[in-house]
Amino acid sequence: MRFWPKIATGLFGLLAFSPVQAGPKVTVLSPHWEGPKREFEAAFSRTYEKSTGRKVAVEWLDVGASSNIMAYVRSEFKSRPQGIGIDLVWGGGSIYYSTLAAEDLLAPAGLTGEDFAGIPPELAGNPLYDAQGLWFGAALGSFGILCNERVLERMNLPRPLSWADLAAPAFFSWVALADPRDSGTAHMMLELMFQSYGWEKGLDVVTRIGANARTIPRAASQIPMLVATGEVACGPCIDFYAWAKMAEVGPGRLEFILPTAETVVTTDPIAMLKGAPDPDLARAFIRFVLSPAGQRLWMLPAGAEGGPRRYTLGRLSVRPELYDELAGRMVMTYNPFRQAPGLNFNSGLAEERWQTLNDLFGALIVDPHPLLVRAWESVKDREAQSPAWKRLAAPPEDEAAFRKRTEEWKDPEKRGRTIAEWVGFGRAKYQSVLRMAGKEPGEWQAGLYRVVRGLIPAFMLGLVVIIPARRLWARWRTWRSRRER
């Protein structure tokens, strides 16, 4: 009987080291977190194997947030214009996908009308899929404010019902918002603030929210964690991050508030890249994501029949019929097809100033943040229309001049020069606010300070030289007096 273990060991060795033909694989570039990746991979693999009898693999590539993906795709296509070895790109706002389509980096997915039957072409003026079939909305997203109810109560803070409420002095150091230069979600909320209030008031609101921010993380996914732990009271947040965190911590702790007249519902697209290695498999993956079975994964809690198995994803579906079908069982209570927010969003304007607006925020809010916070703290309790208060949010240029920057941004040198000018403008502005508030020395005080500061090294050098010299002189005199005796 001793030979059986040897035979088993030999068979195992043959199986382990014999070449096995790999099954089909679809490669997806995505900024999504672990939950959607694992749930859609598992569900798609089961569905594909059941319909074809073959196993399939999904390879996920992660190069960072949506802006990083854009830069990566553009860079790769420059060196490999026929294709970059990736089938699909999934996640990020429709603005990114319109740009990729305009640059001829997407390929038609080849879906039929039956594949997305029941999905309306638009919602509240925002397209849910590309008319040429280059991208398709895989889920919907709305933008609001996530709040920690206990912190609001403990700190006696009001419930913020609008973006402007977060700019109030009462919220000083109790807000967190993400950097739009690294996060497509954060950029969308920045754009919403400007479109809700216009250029000057928009910059005023954004500046004061930034000044109220205790921290400005790079990723929008960090906002729910900061709010849930009570490090901050509130933060601008996309709905699915909010709902997932609310499901995790339980009822009665967090609240997600939609500033109805100041927000929109946008789509989170999926698209096939030009030169996809396996277009048929990529098409099958898109088809599954858009199917009712795929869309239920977004809406149902983990463990529910027909829902995700491990992760609650908490996203809005692009299929209107599922909201009635899953009523009472889905994670969210909001139906965007019946309660669409009221902001008339200008997607053309948003696309035009996407990069310039991000850079303006970085130059005026993120880079000089400690100085901005000091300036705001010095004037936040003053009269709202006082010169120092108004100076804090003064724009570097008018809206017409800012919109002309779009063409300049194609030249890296001009872009860099303008950003440096904005940074200098912001720092000078906040320093002037501190001087107006009496928290920073004026011109003559600053001049005196520079003179004194310049004398300090000479004084220290004098101490280093004079003290030893006096000691030597004293010793020499002592020695001389002894000799004379």
Q: Are residues 37 and 126 in the same domain?
A: yes
Q: What pLDDT score was predicted for residue 457?
A: 59
Is there a domain that residue 321 lies in? yes
Q: What pLDDT score was predicted for residue 473?
A: 64
Is there a domain that residue 441 lies in? no
- Unique residue bearing structure tokens 């001793």: 2
Q: What pLDDT score was predicted for residue 94?
A: 83
Q: What pLDDT score was predicted for residue 458?
A: 59
Q: Are residues 250 and 272 in the same domain?
A: no
Helix orientation angle between 34-52 and 292-299, rounded to the nearest 10 degrees: 150
**How far out from the chain centre does Cα 443 lie?**
40
- Count Cβ atoms within 10 A of the Cβ of residue 324 and give its class: 0-12 exposed, 13-18 middle, 19 or more buried: exposed
Is there a domain that residue 13 lies in? no
Q: Are residues 378 and 245 in the same domain?
A: yes
CA atoms within 13 A on the CB side of 458: 5
Q: Are residues 171 and 248 in the same domain?
A: yes
Q: What pLDDT score was predicted for residue 13?
A: 41
Helices and strands (H and E) in the chain: how many: 20, 12
Q: How far apart are CA 108 and CA 292, in angstroms?
A: 22
Is there a domain that residue 309 lies in? yes
Q: Are residues 40 and 95 in the same domain?
A: yes
Q: Are residues 180 and 286 in the same domain?
A: no
Going residue by residue through the chain, which has 485 residues, state the pLDDT in tens, using 9 for 90 and above.
443 343 343 433 433 333 434 579 999 999 999 999 999 999 999 999 999 999 999 999 999 878 789 899 999 999 999 999 999 999 987 888 988 999 999 999 999 988 989 999 998 778 899 999 999 999 999 999 999 999 999 999 999 999 999 999 999 999 999 999 988 889 999 999 999 999 999 999 999 999 999 999 998 999 999 999 999 999 999 998 998 899 889 888 999 999 988 998 889 999 999 999 999 999 999 999 999 999 999 999 999 999 999 999 999 999 999 999 999 999 887 899 987 667 888 888 988 999 999 999 999 999 999 999 999 999 999 887 789 999 999 999 999 999 999 889 989 999 999 999 999 999 999 999 999 988 765 444 445 445 555 665 555 555 555 666 666 766 766 766 666 65
Return the structure tokens found at 299: 């809406």
Q: Are residues 154 and 294 in the same domain?
A: no
Supply the DSSP symbol for 114.
T
With residue 340 as reference, give the H or E element that holds it: none
Q: Are residues 158 and 214 in the same domain?
A: yes
Return the structure tokens found at 407: 């063409």
Q: Are residues 462 and 422 in the same domain?
A: no
Domain CATH for 423: 3.40.190.10
Is there a domain that residue 335 lies in? no
Nearest to 313 by CA among 138, 119, 66, 62: 138
Is there a domain that residue 334 lies in? no
Residues whose CB is less than 8 angstroms from the CB of residue 177 and which lie 6 or more positions away in sequence, other chains included: 186, 189, 209, 210, 213, 216, 223, 235, 236
Return the structure tokens found at 121: 């072409």
Torsion of CA 28, 29, 30, 33, to 10 degrees: 70
User: Which residues on neighbouring strands pair with residue 107, listed in sequence order?
Assistant: 272
Domain containing residue 315:
21-139+267-325
Q: What pLDDT score was predicted for residue 345?
A: 86
Q: Are residues 185 and 171 in the same domain?
A: yes
Q: Are residues 159 and 117 in the same domain?
A: no
Is there a domain that residue 6 lies in? no
Return the structure tokens found at 120: 């309306």
Q: Are residues 246 and 386 in the same domain?
A: yes
**Length of the chain, please?**
485
Q: What pLDDT score was predicted for residue 445?
A: 47
User: Which residues on neighbouring strands pair with residue 238, listed in sequence order?
Assistant: 143
Is there a domain that residue 10 lies in? no
Give how many domains the chain has, as a whole number.
Answer: 3
